[in-house]
Structure 1
């Protein structure tokens, strides 16, 4: 495994924990701060990550919509101290951006594998929510809609990753290349 993927995975996990723990303790701002901090660091350190801007925005939007529907349907609920919900919380949207920041790096093995993404989402997404529930950051009132939502959302996020890969919003100036003509 490449060093950049290991760094990406470790920072992804740390940001997830900081976001969920922060929300559980009433510091909902910690999640967006942790995700922004590691994503900025990773983009500065690993140049290819600078082309993930569109993917991050779209993943955040998908997450906002999915979690909002789950809240409106009564499947999810946030405790008062986890921060204001509009209908979802900003730290939950940050966690979706956190996921998006790993799709082309430590989670690259999922790229283009929609059925695997469906299974990964249907299992991994709800498990992450249940872990958040154990930390008192969220309440999962109806788990089946959460499973279904993640089974839909993960392949959708993988499709967004695939379709934005060639025309991603580049957050860095293009590399300057010079061609040298060797004349004998």
Structure 2
């Protein structure tokens, strides 16, 4: 099996597992386990392609995005995470999700890099779908109502996803690896 295909497969399966462990774990008091999945996912990818330097910028972008955008939902109580009372800082499992999602633009989400409009649509609908499923799992509630959260989530994620896709493409262009 081709190493780059194997890295892509590890990232794809790893992120699906990360999402489930983070959200289900967040709902049941063991969201910290998301970090174990994230570390295992990245270790598996890096063991195959040794491209950890290329991933660091996207991992950092995921952290920055978490710092910038989570307060938009937490501060006005559009979203409240289970067993979490801080209004400006997301719980640890949300951090793991942001980092895992961002780094996926080097792997299973790389196909969105040249398709920024599609990335915006993917972000808007995928973001709302993801948070809705998470709410239904019990990982969060919507004190101000689902519609207000959905509008906010759709708007923010319609910008975040193309921004991450663009960043990943630009970083590869700078390294001379993007065609």
- Secondary structure of 1:52's counterpart equals helix
Q: What does 1:18-97 align with in structure 2 at a 5 Å threshold?
A: 18-80=21-83, 86-97=88-99
Match of 1:156 in 2: 163
Contact 1:59 1:100 in 2 (8 A): yes
Task: Give me the CA root mean square deviation.
Answer: 2.2
User: For the pair shown, which has the larger CA radius of gyration, 1 or 2?
Assistant: 1
TM-score by length of 1: 0.80
How far has the Cα of 1:85 moved from its partner? 5.9
TM-score, normalised to structure 2, is 0.83
Aligned match of 1:125 in 117, 127, 149?
127
Distance of 1:38 and 1:5 partners within structure 2: 10
Q: Which residue of 2 aligns with 1:181?
A: none
C-alpha distance in structure 2 between counterparts of 1:18 and 1:128, whole Å: 13
SS in 1 for 2:106: coil
Match of 1:134 among 133, 136, 139: 136
CA distance in 2, matches of 1:167, 1:54: 12
The gaps in structure 1 that reach 5 residues or longer are 169-184
* 1:117-168 Cα distance to aligned partner (Å, 9 max, x none): 1000001111111111111111244211111111121122222212333557
**Does the residue aligned with 1:70 lie in a helix, a strand or coil?**
helix
